[in-house]
Amino acid sequence: MQMNYKQLNKNLENKGYFVIKSFIDKKKIRKLKIAISDLFLSELENIHGKTFKFNNKNNLWNDLKFCNLIINFRNNNPINFSKLYNIIKNNPLLLDILNDKKIISISKKILNIKYHNIWNGEFMIRIDVPQDTRNIIGWHQEANYYKKQTKDGQNGIVYWIALSESIKKVNGAVMVKENSHRIGLIKATKFQERKSKLKNKFKSVTFHSDKKNIKKFKTKTIETKIGDLIGMDMRLFHQSGENNSKIIRLACINRIFDTSSKSWPN
């Protein structure tokens, strides 16, 4: 794939984001998805004391029966669900995707940095069940979550990768406020999830900014397919839409920073 870095830079500077279709190898993604479904099935079979059978074990994330099992597991066993989620975050198949050499390469070009100044981390996988309200962050700027890596959000890029076969608006596609990165990093207030059975170490922490800052910006919904990559300025206001479908939405995220920048905290 021939990469037009000039156009990527232009989109990042002007709109605050860029999209690259079919960027990540689909075989790598499907291998990860099988590993995740196998992990959940193993736990569910231990809990229920029986084996679950499916027509196509290689594509369970589009199977309504499987998705309902995961949804019920999350609702009834939130602590065990969170423990499995934390195991998945360090799965080598996930890390292989988020450390893909193509991601490192475009980051090096766009940020104009050398390999030894790249900080790549804070890997995350999103497992968004239908009609979820607990983990909907709302409009936010990524840089407010990473004050140890950036002072102002100017020295990094956040990457969002579609793992589901198709993520349309009904599935909770990523939404962005085009050009909102131009207002800079806005102060945000920290909130910790309260209405939850989870212990503090499993609870979500979010940062909320005054919504009046983004009312004037146009909302763009970015529908994606498996392997598509969205790169965003760390100051761009964005959020995941609501998953109003019947299947679980899968995606993964990482953040890359330039440690040689003046924006990197001392």
* pLDDT of 196: 54
pTM to 2 decimals?
0.92
Kindly tell me if the per-residue pLDDT of 198 is higher than 70. Answer: no
* pLDDT of 133: 72
168/172 Cα distance (integer angstroms):
7
Q: How confident is the model at residue 206 (pLDDT cuts 50, 70, 90)?
A: confident
Cβ neighbors of 43 (< 8 A, separation 6 or more) are 73, 80, 84
Task: Report residue 255 CA to chain centroid gap.
Answer: 10
Tell me the CA end-to-end span of the chain in Å, nearest whole number: 37
* Strand duo 189-192 + 219-222: pairing: unpaired
Comparison of pLDDT for 266 and 240, the residue scoring more: 240
Q: Which residue from 244, 85, 256 is spatially nearest to 170, judged by alpha carbons? A: 244
pLDDT digits (tens, 9 = 90+) for 26-63: 999 999 999 999 999 999 999 999 999 998 888 899 99
Q: How confident is the model at residue 249 (pLDDT cuts 50, 70, 90)?
A: very high
Residue 67 tokens, joined? 């998705």
Across the range 157-175, mean pLDDT stands at 97
Phi-psi region of 174 (alpha: psi -120 to 50; beta: other; left: phi over 0): beta
* pLDDT of 188: 81
* pLDDT of 112: 94
Length of the chain: 266
pLDDT digits (tens, 9 = 90+) for 104-151: 999 999 999 999 999 998 899 999 999 987 767 889 999 999 999 999
* pLDDT of 82: 93
E-strand stretches of 94-192: 118-128, 140-141, 156-162, 166-167, 174-177, 189-192
pLDDT digits (tens, 9 = 90+) for 66-96: 999 999 999 999 999 999 999 999 999 999 9
81/47 Cα distance (integer angstroms):
12
> What is the set of domains in the chain, with CATH numbers?
5-258 (2.60.120.620)
Across the chain, which distance is largest between two alpha carbons, in Å? 57
Write down the H helix ranges in the chain: 5-14, 26-48, 64-76, 78-88, 92-98, 101-111
Across the range 168-193, mean pLDDT stands at 90
Kindly tell me if the per-residue pLDDT of 194 is higher than 70. Answer: no
Across the range 180-184, mean pLDDT stands at 95
pLDDT digits (tens, 9 = 90+) for 212-224: 878 889 999 999 9
